[in-house]
Structure 1
Amino acid sequence: MDNLTHSLVGALLGQAGLKRRTGLAMPALIFGANLPDIDAGCVVYGIESLAMRRGLTHGPIAWVLLPLLLAGFLWWFDRWQATRRTRPEDRLPVHFGWLYLLAFVGCLSHPALDWMNSYGIRLLEPFSSRWFYGDTLFIIDVWIWAAMIFAFVFSRRIEKRGTGNWRRPALLGLVAVLGYINFNMVVTATARAQTPQAEAIASPVPLAFWARDMIIEVDGPIYRGKAKQRWTLGQGLSDDYTLLTDQPACIHPLQLPMFAHDDAEVRAFLFWSRAPYVEREDRDGRMVDVLKDARFDGRFEVEVDVPAEAEECYFE
């Protein structure tokens, strides 16, 4: 999920009452909820970063070590402010144990949310490189934003006025988001059950949480290609599907390592990709094969240099 969603989860956990456990509790929760995304720096490696993201920093070892580092920094920061006489007088006493526990809770919320979308996460890295997919939420969900922002703002206003239970709106906001997530799980499970293809991927649709784009495979004369078929709650699966490529290449993604075994970008892409397909495109008068993933409509792609004499039709 996006970092605003992760931050709001940490903030609501704090407003639900956890921020009263120790000084600097809110930074521990909010920063902790974003800690696993320290691997975002690997984007400097371009396409190869697809194989680096959502792995080691999202796995069990990171769940333990990253909160420990954050708690240590916050504890040191409190002591540093005290020695400089800049520590706020209204800050609660800082307890390292609570800092670590809150950072740990925030950190755990991150992979739990990342698992919800179709991008995937390697939950067991470094013990296993298997990808896990929840297919439940789009990576940016404005309905979750709206619910959590409203709950947080309402909670803070009540707290400042001192006129009621300021924890309740935050708790209700978290319960509402959990209910929304569970509803979306049911939507995804129903869409899968009503799609004939067992290998179909249920891809959440932006804004339309009641719909799923079912990624399926369709056969052509000499190729197998990817297509999307819309499923909607209450209406079921549409009769038509949309091909993701106008000019499918004769090369199947499983053949690519034979031709591009020394290409680090292709290896990384295939390791990350869940629904790879190859499209033949005319680029500046030159026909090239482009490796894409059906989940993202070509937003990630790698040009594959396949020698003309090596091309074979995999499905002939």
Structure 2
Amino acid sequence: MDNLTHSLVGALIGQTGLKRKTGLNIPALIIGANLPDVDAACFFWLEGVEHLGFRRGITHGPPAWLLLPLVLAGMLWGFDRWQAKRGKRPEGRVPVHFGWLYLLGFIACLTHPALDWLNVYGIRLLEPFSSQWFYGDTLFIIDVWLWGLMGFATWWSLRQEKRGETWRKTGRQALALALVYIGVNGAISTYVASSAQAANPQATQVIASPLPVTSWDREVLLKVDYGYWAHVESSARQDLARPNKISVSPCRLSTATAGANSQLDAFLFWSRALIAERAEDGSVILRDARFYDPRARDRFSLALPDVECEPLAPPSP
């Protein structure tokens, strides 16, 4: 999910009452909720699409769940001591407890892979023990309804706290409602994917991809025939049994091309719905049906000018 969603989850956890356990609680919760995205630093040393095969891996797996909060707690505890030595420590800050800093950071850090699992991009939850991708297909990467719910609840709870009113209940109720919302969307995805599979028994793979804003709708992607992907734009408005073939000139990418370069290896490792498209000059462009959008093609595509691709037979009617 996006970093605003992660931050709001961290803030709401604090508004359940846990923030009273130690000083520097909010930094521990909000930074902890975003900490696994430290792997975004890979853009400094990786080129092209190599980041696709690196992100949501090692910093999102079990060892990171334990180590990243430990580093965060140590830095916050050290910062508090540094401020105290310089006489700059705020008088109103409650004592900083290392154990609670670690626990809060750990809880917040766990919410990050849980949320990242919810969308179609995927996450390698067991890295480095396994490089398998896991997909929740439940929410779009940016969910405005979660923004509204958690943003308003955080603001209202803080306002209640300032007024001396009961504020912990608001944070707890908002998190519970968010879980219900996520559960309902998960059920929608499961139902739509099952219905699409039943309506298209020839499909070898089905992905129910949540749409932005209208989170109750799904774009259904189906792998039909050999190497062709088709889609139904909205499960609520179109017959699942009549998918539209994605408008490309698909071809078969030779397996001999694997290992040819790091860009190709990274893209093949990351891709879930691979499309090998023949360009006008005869070269190959790799895309992924999940992100087959003109606005996203440059980011989620790979041009292979020196690779040939055999045309596929037309799909059966």
TM-score by length of 2: 0.90
Distance 1:22 1:307 in 2: 58
Alpha-carbon offset, residue 175 of structure 1: 1.0
* 1:224–1:315 contact (8 Å) kept in structure 2: no
Alignment deviations for residues 184-207 of structure 1 (CA, whole Å, 9 cap, x no partner)? 011011011101235201111111
Give the structure 2 partner of residue 115 of structure 1.
117
Give the structure 1 partner of residue 191 of structure 2.
190
Count how many residue pairs are aligned between Structure 1 and Structure 2: 302
Relative distance call for 1:63 and 1:307 in structure 2 (3 A) is closer
Alpha-carbon offset, residue 315 of structure 1: 5.5
* 2:232–2:238 contact (8 Å) kept in structure 1: no
* 1:29–1:103 contact (8 Å) kept in structure 2: yes
* Percent of residue pairs identical: 53
Distance 1:18 1:216 in 2: 44
* 1:260–1:304 contact (8 Å) kept in structure 2: no
Alignment pair present for 1:228 and 2:223? no
Alpha-carbon offset, residue 232 of structure 1: 3.1
Give the structure 2 partner of residue 54 of structure 1.
56
Alpha-carbon offset, residue 217 of structure 1: 2.2
User: What is the alpha-carbon root mean square deviation over aligned residues?
Assistant: 1.8
Any residues of structure 2 matched to 1:99-138 within 5 Å, and which? 99-138=101-140
* 1:245–1:279 contact (8 Å) kept in structure 2: no
Distance 1:307 1:288 in 2: 6
Gap runs ≥5 in structure 1: none
Gap runs ≥5 in structure 2: 198-202
Aligned pair partner of 1:278 in 276, 279, 295: 276
Give the structure 2 partner of residue 98 of structure 1.
100
Alpha-carbon offset, residue 280 of structure 1: 1.9
Distance 2:312 2:204 in 1: 22
Give the structure 1 partner of residue 262 of structure 2.
264
Distance 2:239 2:195 in 1: 7
Give the match's secondary structure for 2:162. Answer: helix
Distance 1:302 1:11 in 2: 38
> 4+ runs of 1 displaced by more than 6 Å?
none
Alpha-carbon offset, residue 160 of structure 1: 1.2
Give the structure 2 partner of residue 167 of structure 1.
168
Give the structure 2 partner of residue 83 of structure 1.
85
Alpha-carbon offset, residue 242 of structure 1: 3.0
Distance 2:271 2:77 in 1: 41
Alignment deviations for residues 276-304 of structure 1 (CA, whole Å, 9 cap, x no partner)? 0111223xxx3321000000113401112
